[in-house]
Structure 1
Amino acid sequence: MRCIPRSVRASIAALAETFSLRVPVFLTVVAMSLSLPLSAAESNSAEELIAADPVLSSGKKIYAEQCLQCHGEQGIGTEDYYPDPLVGDGSIGELTEIIVDTMPEEDPDLCVGEDATAVAAYIHHAFYSEAAQIRNRPPRQSLQRLTGVQFRQSLADLYAHFAGLQNTRWETHRNEAGLKVSIYEGKGWKKENRKIERVDPVIDFDFGKEGPGEGVAWDEFHAHWEGGLRIEQTGRYELIVRSKTSFTMDFGHGGRQLIDNHVQSEGREEFRRTLLLTAGRVYPFKIDLNQRKRKGETPPATISLSWVPPGGVETIIPASAMMPGWNPPVLQMATTMPPDDSSYGFERGISVDTAWDSAVTEGAIELAEAMRDELWNEYLRRHKKDEGSRQDKLKNFLTDFVTVAHRGDESETEPQRIVGPAMDAFEDESDIIKSVVLMTLKSPRFLYPTLDQDRSVSQRAANRLALVLHDSLPSESWMLTQIEKGQLSNEAVIRRSAERMLDDARTRAKLKQMLYHWMELGPEDDLRKDDEKYPGFTPELIADLRESLDRFLDDTIWSETSDFRQLLAADWTYTNPRLTEFYGDAWKPAESDETWTRTVGDPRTHVGVLTHPLVMARLSYHSATSPIHRGVFLLRHVMGRTLRPPNEAFAPLSPDLHPDLTTRERVELQTSPESCQICHSRINPLGFSLEQFDAVGRFREQDMKKPVDASGSYLTRDDERIEFTGARGLAEVAIANPDTHRAFVTRMFQYFVKQPVASYGANRLDELTETFRQSDYNIQKLLIEIAVIAASDVLPESNDEKKPAKNQSTVGA
């Protein structure tokens, strides 16, 4: 600041004050919006290499003579001729073929043979390849606000912090399922009247005249169920209680009543409530059923508890989704956050518009009301023996809130800048709390979590760990203690903390959502098929397929080996009687069981997620398979390659136009033009390998009464064409190919960190992929390594010589 004129310094200080930021942090924000060009040294080095190589030097000359006018310097494109930049991941051989066939457009025969090879090599080295892109424009860590998911999780953890307990530790409840129930005889709830205590796997009872159990009369008793509802996917859930008997239901907090049927309404036996619930949370609830003798005939007591999860159908809530006994209260936030930008393949918090600002305000108000109605009273109860007036306690309560929400200690966050004015301006406690919460949560200090350059190293490392693994902020007592003691200042402690945070419901939910994102599956997918061609493919069957895939993912990821290769190659999945009946012998249970169990091993039918019917149905049309959709998925998501958008809108040829052709033959016919083959020579051979699975994922050997041709191939980045047949051959190629490993590591890193991996070092992806390989492709260890990299990036340079320069960020990569 000393070299800046005094008048400019005053303006900077004023702007910083406007955003409630200190000047150094404000200047960092400004710097993070500027793009740093390629340094002169780096540029000179690249030019020297080209000049020293005869092929590259020749290619550069040809490019200047024949390509420059259309594609511009460094292949960035020209407005008048070809506006798109020349970037991609095709091999030099692929580029050569394209140049020979199509360039220059006015005379494609002008550049052939050695000239085409030379210019392809130059383009690939100078600006086309991934390495060239990183060299020419090094990706930087961009300044981003909280995403919608991160906002919800952060508010939930702030609530949990002040509720005094966290309930996201998975290990505590690993083997617990169902609901705890206490049943009392007669009219009272006295302890001596309690006759039965047990854990019910589900709530689905018609007690009849046998009653709820020995020693309890059927016509007069009380049943009290208590537990938690485990949520693994954020979305809208419909809870349904059916009962002919008087009952009440509390949800989310002991005093938060969801359904009041204390006085049984004549003829009303069904009660529905729709709630927006957050993944990684366990929502406490309790149901009190009151069976009373009535004048005249007393009907037997009945009750059931079911739900409709996002994109699902109504089912009795299974034991696996419930945890017995008391669970801490959870914030039940109703605000819907607008969708975030996903143009880079992962959600980023970059846009700040009216819809987002309004949602943030609504969410802040919800938390303020919960702070006022629930948490403030709880705080007073826990601190009733403390010295000081009620006003002093309110000040301490709100000071703690600002400190945790703004991710720092009291000296760093300066909470009195918010708390003091609010307490001076208002007399009513409700107004004070609401004002402080709104000011705190709408501050850049909360909404932009990496605006923490003036925080301690330990605090910054904790901020990154919480954001990466939990989509949240540090709020648990053990983590806050580590921050206070400055313990998160070396990689070893950071790693131990990441390992502790791994076995957590929030981390588990985020990892599962990442895998669904990787497979391009969502709860709102329309998977319906032609009823005549695929009878029995009902919404109930689709719901079973979702459960089957969920169980397979959980079993694979959270096993001791956590082997990524099993995701692509396991010869089993999970089945139940309905799936066995629809999909046949290969879906029979390995052991006789009427519920969920593993299938028999069948390496032809079961090939990890690649042939799971949910994936196959998603990548198919209403009445036919889609090798193109399947091929694009495999190329982009599994192999990690890029594709340019098609030149024009694409509609599949109707089977009615060519009734004798198989799906493969129709696709080959439609994509045969040379202009299509540039992309479809890469797409089709992968998609065809899955043609032995129809539009609902059933194995087949014939299509249109002809043997299915499931032969396929893959062209690597090194111009090696690998031939294979069928899904099993595809899996073997994928799990052995470095492209697949790099693609998965990249997707994991981007999804969890929400920054490009190269922004943490030009060689970081290679290093991380090699670490992944050495761990035998252990997904859990990969996630820990990703979290450690993100958190260790804040450590002083002396702790990590490989870290890139910091705070050299741009908006975007």
Structure 2
Amino acid sequence: MTFFHFNPRPQSKVLPVDFAWKPRCQRMLCIIAAVTSFALCQTIALADDDETMAIGAKIYQEKCVMCHGGEGQGNQDYYPDPLTGDNTVGELAELISETMPEEDPDECVAEDAVAVASYIHHEFYSEAAQIRRRPPRAVLARLTGNQLRQSLADLYARFGDAGWRDDKQGLSGRYYNNSHWDDKKLSIERVDPTIDFDFGLKGPSPEDSEGAKKIDPEEYFIYWSGSLRVPESGRYELIVKSSCSFTLDFGSRDRELIDNHVQSAGKEEFRRSLFLTGGRDYPIELQLRQRKRKTEQPPAYISFSWVRPGGVEEIVPAKYLAPSNQPPVFPLQAKLPPDDRSYGYERGTAINRSWDESTTAAAVEFADVAIAELYPQYKRRHKKDPNENRQVLRKFLKEIVSTAFRRPLDSEMEKHFVDRFVDEIKDDAEAIRIVCLYTIKSPRFLYPLLDKDRPDSYRIGSRLALTLFDSLPADPLLRKEMEKDQLKNPKKVTEVAWRMVDDTRCRSKTRQFLYEWFDLAQIDEITKDKETYPNFDAALVADLRESFDAMLEEVVYSESSDFRLLLQSDWSFTTERLASFYGDAWKPADGQSGRLMRSVHDPIRHVGVLSHPLLMSELAYHRTSSPVHRGVFMTRHVLGRVLRPPNAAFSPLNPDLHPGLTTRERVALQTGEVSCQVCHSKINAVGFAFENFDAAGRYREMENDKPIDASGSYITRTGETATFDGVRELGDYLAGSPDCHRSFVEAAFEHFVKQPIAAFGPNLSDELTQSFQNSGFNIRQLIVSIAEIVANQSVAPEPTPS
């Protein structure tokens, strides 16, 4: 018999399976797939007493072992796949009653089918059985690519001043009535929300600045400073357009990204591409000079734009600019190989030549910046310290090694990782390079869970930083708490975790998690048929991203941080462009102004972010909606259920060939084959609930002159059937659904910890889900709870197969 595949890791929603089907197994799959009625699942007596289990075991041994193996492991000659999945006993009993044994399906029905189903479910089929038989273990994993970038950024930051952040937006601007910095000539001082100025021939206007003085339009100097807030890791393009001479320093005052001090003839646009690490505030200094000219002076203008990962060129919005000066940031540029995501979250498991070469490149890049920036700065700070036998260099290198290894160094480690190299190498730069290479390539740095020999507070601090920041503990306050051995106190751990949750690095990681849970993490661009959706363009998609981002941030960082608002809120963030395309429901509420505004309330068209056009348009085709994509998303991501990969790829039916059918009718026609229904009876039932939203995410009530049918259903893990009509009813159901709560909790745990949740205890999923519910579904509280569990629980990781 064929059942849904169970992933031994709860978040591994897709299992790569090589189907070496025998003819009899193909026939068996088709027969089982024909079972689409849910009624029987609710009427079968789900007995699990000892007598029933004994009867089931006897029947299984007599009639099922030959094909499926004694423990459901499969048989290469008959049916190679294991009997594992998340169907209920009732669903299994129905399949058995209808199809097994293959030679005589009527031989095992009614109570016998229930007995066999109960035995299979308890012994090896269910998730609980899988965990009981093969308890998951934490895997010894290396740093993922993002963890490596974050760790090196914090290793660099270890030698800088502590940054501070306020709620102000924009860049600090100082305008001088001169061609250079001269405080006596300071005319205007203000915070500019964005850098997008057309000064023309009149020069900067002092009208909006209190106490400002008039500026000579033929000669002036403007100095903008502050920081660029980077929300996500990825490749960014920074763009400055100007008719004047300018320079742009980025990441550090000593790092010149664009030099147009000597103005390039005829060139007014400058672009630079950088990989930036998310959750960081990058210092920025932009200096513009308008000089008197002997020839005719052209109109002056300047703008600062960017292209975010997967985005479009736009003036950098004020929310991503801050007037406060921040310490320098190290953005690693070395190309890193992608990490394994087959379990639903990034894992550092692959150890190969590509990874080895990329970590070497990263070590060399860090060594170069340590030589050029960190050590000169360190020497200036310690210029009065005694330097006999190069003590300043030794101390500098020991701080690098101890921070990278997340622990204080003992005398043997100091000799091995620092002193022997300083003794042998007379050139300071070469000694720094060798120690950095040796340290960053060391398993003590690359494998952060090799922490048994660390003092307790260092181990706890390291796990907090890895869980919440994907990084190492480098912040001055956290280092101080580790040094004073304060983290052995559970209350202190909770206090520190709450502090860290509001840090920009944790905010970036939380944003990444939510994008993954809503299946938007891998989107690049979204396009639609120009004739059907003529105004659906890249600029509209950029606004949708901004709206979606703002909604996530609003929910997570509100006082309640209530997860249910992601599924139930009846408003969203909008722009003028979104209101024009999506209609009245996307108009700004009364009193709203600015670029991004709260929309009016509409409980039908706004259902949390479930109905957000960014999600709806991504889960759709070029011209039509896709109940299948939406149903798969709901089943795997939101409800945490397992789906077997399809036997073969297929294209949707061309709507032009079936002009009289609605999308729902075409999908039902195409997936009605018995070989499809084994999965599509589940997929379609939830996917159809989204049919009120077309391929662009616009609300509709009719399609092809027929009323939209958005009715759907879902069978829970415990066998109950939920019915709903439309996304509003679905969202309200999900807000109270234990399956949805559990899916969110498990996905959050495995995203932040990058280990299977069952490895931390067979009951942890249930306990953490209950705690999440008791907290009022507080997302930030959930993240803190996850960090507490990881910090305080001793879990020995198993070695990763190379």
Aligned counterparts of 1:757 and 1:350: Cα–Cα separation in 2: 17
Alignment partner of 1:397 is 2:393: no
Q: Check whether the contact 1:537–1:696 (CA below 8 A) recurs between aligned residues.
A: yes
Secondary structure of the corresponding residue to residue 281 of structure 2: strand
Aligned counterpart, 1:493:
492
Aligned counterparts of 2:255 and 2:789: Cα–Cα separation in 1: 42
Aligned counterparts of 1:741 and 1:210: Cα–Cα separation in 2: 60
Aligned counterparts of 2:98 and 2:339: Cα–Cα separation in 1: 40
Secondary structure of the corresponding residue to residue 698 of structure 1: coil
Aligned counterparts of 2:62 and 2:412: Cα–Cα separation in 1: 60
Q: Check whether the contact 2:149–2:331 (CA below 8 A) recurs between aligned residues.
A: no
* Corresponding residue to 1:209 among 192, 201, 204: 201
Q: Deviations over 1:327-384 (max 9, x none)?
A: 2100032112111001110000001111111111111111101100000000011111
Deviation at residue 310 of structure 1 after TM alignment: 0.7
Q: Check whether the contact 1:372–1:433 (CA below 8 A) recurs between aligned residues.
A: yes
Alignment partner of 1:541 is 2:519: no
Q: Check whether the contact 2:449–2:797 (CA below 8 A) recurs between aligned residues.
A: no
Alignment partner of 1:82 is 2:82: no
Give the 3 Å change call, closer, same or farther, for CA 289–145 of structure 1 in structure 2.
Answer: same
Aligned counterpart, 1:165:
161
Aligned counterparts of 1:249 and 1:810: Cα–Cα separation in 2: 47
Deviation at residue 84 of structure 1 after TM alignment: 1.5
In the alignment, structure 2 segments of 5+ residues that lack a partner are 1-46, 207-212
Aligned counterparts of 1:599 and 1:296: Cα–Cα separation in 2: 52
Alignment partner of 1:369 is 2:365: no
Bigger mean CA offset, 504-513 vs 180-189: 180-189
Percent pairwise identity: 52
Aligned counterpart, 1:693:
693
Instruction: Give the AA of the match of 2:711.
Output: S
Aligned counterparts of 1:300 and 1:670: Cα–Cα separation in 2: 62
Alignment partner of 1:360 is 2:359: yes
TM-score of the pair, normalised by structure 2: 0.91
Deviation at residue 101 of structure 1 after TM alignment: 3.0
Instruction: Give the AA of the match of 2:126.
Output: S
Q: Deviations over 1:399-453 (max 9, x none)?
A: 1111110111122881320112221332211110010000000000000001111
Deviation at residue 78 of structure 1 after TM alignment: 1.8
Aligned counterpart, 1:703:
703
Aligned counterpart, 1:33:
none
Aligned counterparts of 2:311 and 2:522: Cα–Cα separation in 1: 7
Aligned counterpart, 2:581:
582
Aligned counterpart, 2:136:
139
Aligned counterpart, 1:673:
673
Aligned counterpart, 2:57:
60
In the alignment, structure 1 segments of 5+ residues that lack a partner are 1-49, 795-805
Aligned counterparts of 1:362 and 1:105: Cα–Cα separation in 2: 58
Bigger mean CA offset, 301-310 vs 649-658: 649-658
Instruction: Give the AA of the match of 2:315.
Output: I
Aligned counterparts of 1:704 and 1:203: Cα–Cα separation in 2: 48
Aligned counterpart, 2:684:
684
Secondary structure of the corresponding residue to residue 158 of structure 2: helix
Alignment partner of 1:182 is 2:174: yes
Aligned counterparts of 1:696 and 1:187: Cα–Cα separation in 2: 51
Bigger mean CA offset, 80-89 vs 507-516: 80-89
Deviation at residue 51 of structure 1 after TM alignment: 11
Deviation at residue 165 of structure 1 after TM alignment: 2.2
Q: Check whether the contact 1:307–1:314 (CA below 8 A) recurs between aligned residues.
A: yes
Q: Check whether the contact 2:131–2:758 (CA below 8 A) recurs between aligned residues.
A: yes
Deviation at residue 114 of structure 1 after TM alignment: 1.5
Bigger mean CA offset, 739-748 vs 637-646: 637-646
Secondary structure of the corresponding residue to residue 129 of structure 2: helix
Q: Check whether the contact 1:141–1:756 (CA below 8 A) recurs between aligned residues.
A: yes
Q: Deviations over 1:583-636 (max 9, x none)?
A: 000101012424211110100000011100010011111111110111111111
Aligned counterpart, 1:350:
349
Aligned counterpart, 1:482:
481
Q: Check whether the contact 1:126–1:132 (CA below 8 A) recurs between aligned residues.
A: yes
Q: Check whether the contact 1:229–1:322 (CA below 8 A) recurs between aligned residues.
A: yes
Instruction: Give the AA of the match of 2:601.
Output: G
Q: Check whether the contact 1:226–1:326 (CA below 8 A) recurs between aligned residues.
A: yes
Secondary structure of the corresponding residue to residue 288 of structure 1: strand
Instruction: Give the AA of the match of 2:764.
Output: R
Aligned counterpart, 1:656:
656
Give the 3 Å change call, closer, same or farther, for CA 285–69 of structure 1 in structure 2.
Answer: same
Deviation at residue 659 of structure 1 after TM alignment: 1.7
Q: Check whether the contact 2:671–2:680 (CA below 8 A) recurs between aligned residues.
A: yes
Aligned counterparts of 1:652 and 1:98: Cα–Cα separation in 2: 28
Aligned counterparts of 1:413 and 1:239: Cα–Cα separation in 2: 46
Aligned counterparts of 2:375 and 2:78: Cα–Cα separation in 1: 65
Deviation at residue 325 of structure 1 after TM alignment: 3.5
Aligned counterparts of 2:428 and 2:106: Cα–Cα separation in 1: 81
Alignment partner of 1:156 is 2:153: yes
Aligned counterparts of 1:413 and 1:53: Cα–Cα separation in 2: 61
Aligned counterpart, 1:521:
520
Instruction: Give the AA of the match of 2:158.
Output: H
Aligned counterparts of 2:460 and 2:522: Cα–Cα separation in 1: 34
Q: Check whether the contact 1:75–1:86 (CA below 8 A) recurs between aligned residues.
A: yes
Q: Check whether the contact 1:490–1:792 (CA below 8 A) recurs between aligned residues.
A: no
Bigger mean CA offset, 513-522 vs 673-682: 673-682
Bigger mean CA offset, 347-356 vs 478-487: 478-487
Alignment partner of 1:755 is 2:752: no
Aligned counterpart, 2:434:
435
| Match runs of 1:709-724 below 5 Å | 709-724=709-724
Aligned counterpart, 2:788:
788
Aligned counterpart, 1:450:
449
TM-score of the pair, normalised by structure 1: 0.90
Deviation at residue 209 of structure 1 after TM alignment: 3.0
Aligned counterpart, 1:11:
none
Aligned counterparts of 1:451 and 1:114: Cα–Cα separation in 2: 52
Deviation at residue 322 of structure 1 after TM alignment: 0.7
Aligned counterparts of 1:732 and 1:236: Cα–Cα separation in 2: 38
Bigger mean CA offset, 739-748 vs 99-108: 99-108
Instruction: Give the AA of the match of 1:176.
Output: K
Secondary structure of the corresponding residue to residue 176 of structure 2: strand
Aligned counterparts of 1:690 and 1:51: Cα–Cα separation in 2: 38
Secondary structure of the corresponding residue to residue 223 of structure 2: strand
Q: Deviations over 1:66-116 (max 9, x none)?
A: 111111122121222222211111111111122223333333333222111
Q: Check whether the contact 1:59–1:122 (CA below 8 A) recurs between aligned residues.
A: yes
Aligned counterparts of 1:265 and 1:526: Cα–Cα separation in 2: 34
* Corresponding residue to 1:108 among 101, 105, 108: 105
Secondary structure of the corresponding residue to residue 709 of structure 1: coil
Deviation at residue 54 of structure 1 after TM alignment: 1.0
Bigger mean CA offset, 152-161 vs 61-70: 61-70
Aligned counterpart, 2:89:
92
Secondary structure of the corresponding residue to residue 578 of structure 1: helix
Alignment partner of 1:119 is 2:111: no
Deviation at residue 811 of structure 1 after TM alignment: 4.7
Q: Deviations over 1:298-329 (max 9, x none)?
A: 22321111111111111001111111132210
Aligned counterparts of 2:649 and 2:67: Cα–Cα separation in 1: 25
Aligned counterparts of 2:690 and 2:547: Cα–Cα separation in 1: 20
Aligned counterparts of 2:229 and 2:350: Cα–Cα separation in 1: 32
Q: Check whether the contact 1:141–1:810 (CA below 8 A) recurs between aligned residues.
A: no
Deviation at residue 492 of structure 1 after TM alignment: 1.3
| Match runs of 1:200-599 below 5 Å | 200-212=192-204, 213=206, 214-389=213-388, 391-411=390-410, 414-522=413-521, 524-591=523-590, 592-599=592-599
Secondary structure of the corresponding residue to residue 275 of structure 2: strand
Q: Check whether the contact 2:236–2:308 (CA below 8 A) recurs between aligned residues.
A: yes
Q: Check whether the contact 1:406–1:413 (CA below 8 A) recurs between aligned residues.
A: no
Aligned counterparts of 2:230 and 2:155: Cα–Cα separation in 1: 18
* Corresponding residue to 1:807 among 784, 789, 796: 796
Aligned counterparts of 1:760 and 1:539: Cα–Cα separation in 2: 44
Aligned counterparts of 1:412 and 1:82: Cα–Cα separation in 2: 60
Give the 3 Å change call, closer, same or farther, for CA 148–128 of structure 1 in structure 2.
Answer: same
Q: Deviations over 1:441-472 (max 9, x none)?
A: 00000000011111111111111100000000
Q: Check whether the contact 1:412–1:455 (CA below 8 A) recurs between aligned residues.
A: no
Secondary structure of the corresponding residue to residue 452 of structure 2: coil
Deviation at residue 532 of structure 1 after TM alignment: 0.9
